[in-house]
Amino acid sequence: MDNVEASNSGKNKMFVRTLMIMALDVLAIVMSFFLAFLLRFDFSFTSVMHYSFVFVTVIPLFCIVTILVFMFLKLYHSIWRFASVSELEKLIKAWIILAAFVALFVLMESVITGHRAVPISVCIMGVLLSGIATTGIRFGYRLLRFVAKSSDRKSKKITNVMVIGAGACGRDVIHEYRMSHHLDAEVRCAIDDNPIKLGRLIDNVPIVGTRNDIPKMAEQYDIDEIIFAIPDAKGTDKKDILEICSATGCKVRVMPGIYQMLDGKVSVKNTRDVQIEDLLGRDPIKANFKQIRKYITGKTVMVTGGGGSIGSELCRQIAKAEPKLLIIFDIYENNAFWIERELREKYGDKLNLIALIGSVRNTNRVNSIMEKYRPEIIFHAAAHKHVPLMEVSPNEAIKNNVGGTYKMAHAAVKWGVEKFVLVSTDKAVNPTNIMGASKRICEMIIQAMDRSAQKQYDAGEIKVRTNFSAVRFGNVIGSNGSVLKIFEKQISAGGPVTVTDKNIIRYFMTIPEAVALVMESGAYARGGEIFVLDMGEPVRIDDVARKMIKLSGFVPDVDIKITYTGLRPGEKLYEERLMDEEGLRQIEDNKDISIAEPIPMNDVNFEGQIVKLDEAAKNEADNIRELVAQIVETYKV
């Protein structure tokens, strides 16, 4: 009821406001024609009184026609504090129509009566003055708001803002700053690389230079905050400009791409702090969604670990491809709850969806789900991933990552799954920690199971040949526990920002990018491939930390201290995409996806080792690392 009452209250206010503007329009017209008569008769009131019948008969008729024309052009629907060129155009159209009406009235009056009740000069002046008055009413309201805001600002501390980008987005941002009562800020200047725009004004805000002038103009105009308002900027340009901004000491905020805004409209409320993807210096990677739809649309798709960072994004993108059924499978009920709720709110009955709680370790639970729902595609994202935690709980890494993958893979073959895609990591390459080693074993399981499925299919033991593949990529921006999330919290808390080593470097990719390429890799999979995603150039974590501090308006090691804590157990200075034995061939259709050649191994011996390893983990063996090292030769205990 509260929403209904609020809606009715809003409608009543709008109705009253409309009546007030109509009344002001009528008053403006009457006063305009009265002034026109006074001007015509040299301010002789006696002469004007001879035409009193006009104010009783003709003027009321003209007022009614004016209101009808204004209503037809929806001039009473506008929000006049945002009055702009479009409203002015409507007003001009309205008064052209009304001038034509007056001309027609004068002509008909002359023809029918043979004389004119109203002098032509009065008609002309009356129409002109009425047009000016009704326009003034509307834009005067905007002017009064602006004056009130300006006087109000004098008693407050105002944030001086620089807007980068003098295009449509920048213009809208500047306009909102000038008109809003709620923003205690003023746009002092704008920056644009287009030399034609230099020296021009946007809402009286000067365009004062190009990107190279940012530091000088920030100092000259005493800028406190910079807003990057070029949503379609290329990755390299964005990175370059933001790095220049970081040298100013100003807080920097970014307007996201239009496609990222929920309503597609530009607003200051859409701005966000600078994120690492803004500093990667590359354009977002785009997957071939047509390829993805081909093998997902109309299929029953299961996502293990469906509530996690990668799993939940997999569910979002799978939902877009219109599956027959989407199964979210996760041990953690809260995560499963939130992604299920999100998708149900977005798609309603259009998406056939079920969230199931359970563990990939539980063979009976997995088989019961497979038997009941018969998924045709499985994305296996369930895993323990935090390196330091797994170093002190190595048996849990083996139980969940190795045991869970082994059991899911066997169930996939048993129940006729068409495609099984493992989400892997670059930490599986020459691993120095138990988490990376466990994921390397998962990759080996996938390749061994693919060969086994082929043999069973050829022998007629199974009707559906399960196609196994794995996708290997590095750190994902925004995932749970990501170092960048930690940096953001540390900066907002005033520091210190902790970096393990000054020379540590990492590859980064956004979650949507990684997931889209994981799904596209599934389309290319023919069996046994390890797909390796191109993540661009690696970045130095120390550099990222310093840039994030600067772009938050602070000085590294002065306002916010950076401390070096040393590499954690099992942590590398850099990650690798390939082992020495693996070759790499690029997929023709997508330069961002390559295939690592499989390393030969004895599948029978390997399966025996997996069974022994899983049993040892269940028994909380103290020598679990030694057993892992026997399987992954590059892992050193």
Write out pLDDT tens, residues 602-625.
999 999 999 999 999 999 999 999
Locate tokens 């390939």: which residue?
A: 578
- Answer whether residue 81 shows pLDDT above 70: no
Q: Which residues contact 604 (CB under 8 A, 6 or more apart)?
A: none
The stretch 132-153 carries a mean pLDDT of: 66
The pLDDT value given to residue 596: 82
The pLDDT value given to residue 567: 82
Write out pLDDT tens, residues 440-492.
999 999 999 999 999 999 999 999 999 999 998 877 776 666 777 788 888 88
The stretch 158-172 carries a mean pLDDT of: 88
- For residues 389 and 419, give the distance between their C-alpha atoms in angstroms, rounded to a whole number: 31
* Amino acid symbol at 535: M
- Answer whether residue 526 shows pLDDT above 80: yes
Structure tokens that stand for 119 in this block: 């002098």
Q: Please state, for a pLDDT cut of 90, what percent of the chain lies above it.
A: 36
Higher-confidence residue of 138 and 40: namely 40
SS3 43: coil
- For residues 574 and 427, give the distance between their C-alpha atoms in angstroms, rounded to a whole number: 10
- For residues 217 and 213, give the distance between their C-alpha atoms in angstroms, rounded to a whole number: 6
The stretch 363-368 carries a mean pLDDT of: 96
- Answer whether residue 307 shows pLDDT above 60: yes
* Amino acid symbol at 219: E
Q: Are 318 and 294 in contact (CB under 8 A)?
A: no
The pLDDT value given to residue 263: 41
15 conformational bin, left if phi > 0, alpha if psi -120 to 50, beta if neither: alpha
Tell the CATH topology of 159-274.
Rossmann fold (3.40.50)
The pLDDT value given to residue 145: 59
- Count of alpha carbons within 13 Å of 336, Cβ hemisphere only? 20
The pLDDT value given to residue 291: 81
Q: Are 322 and 298 in contact (CB under 8 A)?
A: yes
- For residues 164 and 192, give the distance between their C-alpha atoms in angstroms, rounded to a whole number: 6
The stretch 570-577 carries a mean pLDDT of: 68
- Count of alpha carbons within 13 Å of 386, Cβ hemisphere only? 12
Domain spanning 295-477+510-534+579-631: CATH 3.90.1660.10 = no
Higher-confidence residue of 374 and 109: namely 374
Write out pLDDT tens, residues 401-434.
999 999 999 999 999 999 999 999 888 888 989 9
In this structure, how many other beta carbons lie within 10 angstroms of the beta carbon of residue 365? 17
Structure tokens that stand for 545 in this block: 């930390």
Structure tokens that stand for 460 in this block: 């007629």
The pLDDT value given to residue 6: 46
Q: Which of 51-65, 302-316, 611-625 has the lowest mean pLDDT?
A: 51-65
The pLDDT value given to residue 264: 45
- Answer whether residue 102 shows pLDDT above 60: yes
Q: Which of 65-69, 325-329, 508-512 has the lowest mean pLDDT?
A: 508-512
Most confident by average pLDDT, 33-42, 74-83, 385-394: 385-394
Q: Which of 154-163, 290-299, 577-586 has the lowest mean pLDDT?
A: 577-586
* Amino acid symbol at 485: K
- Inter-helix orientation angle 541-551/235-246, to 10°: 70
584-587 and 505-506 beta bridge pairing:
unpaired
Give the chain's mean pLDDT.
83
- For residues 329 and 322, give the distance between their C-alpha atoms in angstroms, rounded to a whole number: 18
pLDDT band at 259 (very low <50, low <70, confident <90, very high): very low
- Domain segments of the chain as ranges: 2-152, 159-274, 295-477+510-534+579-631
Structure tokens that stand for 187 in this block: 């746009």
Most confident by average pLDDT, 106-110, 187-191, 596-600: 187-191
In this structure, how many other beta carbons lie within 10 angstroms of the beta carbon of residue 630? 11
Show the DSSP H helices in 304-432 as ranges.
309-320, 333-347, 363-373, 387-392, 394-397, 404-414
pLDDT band at 342 (very low <50, low <70, confident <90, very high): very high
Structure tokens that stand for 512 in this block: 């949507």
- Count of alpha carbons within 13 Å of 216, Cβ hemisphere only? 7
- For residues 28 and 98, give the distance between their C-alpha atoms in angstroms, rounded to a whole number: 15
Higher-confidence residue of 537 and 1: namely 537
Q: Are 464 and 418 in contact (CB under 8 A)?
A: yes
Q: Are 94 and 73 in contact (CB under 8 A)?
A: yes
Instruction: Residue 474: name the closest of 525, 526, 440, 509 by CA.
Output: 509
Q: Are 303 and 377 in contact (CB under 8 A)?
A: no
C-alpha angle 588-590-594 in degrees, rounded to nearest 5: 80
Locate tokens 């997931």: which residue?
A: 515
Please count the helices (runs of H) and the strands (runs of E) in the chain: 22, 22
pLDDT band at 258 (very low <50, low <70, confident <90, very high): very low
Write out pLDDT tens, residues 541-560.
888 888 888 777 788 888 89
Structure tokens that stand for 326 in this block: 């989407």
Strand pairing partners for 420? Answer: 378, 468
- Answer whether residue 242 shows pLDDT above 70: yes
SS3 257: coil
Structure tokens that stand for 77 in this block: 């629907």
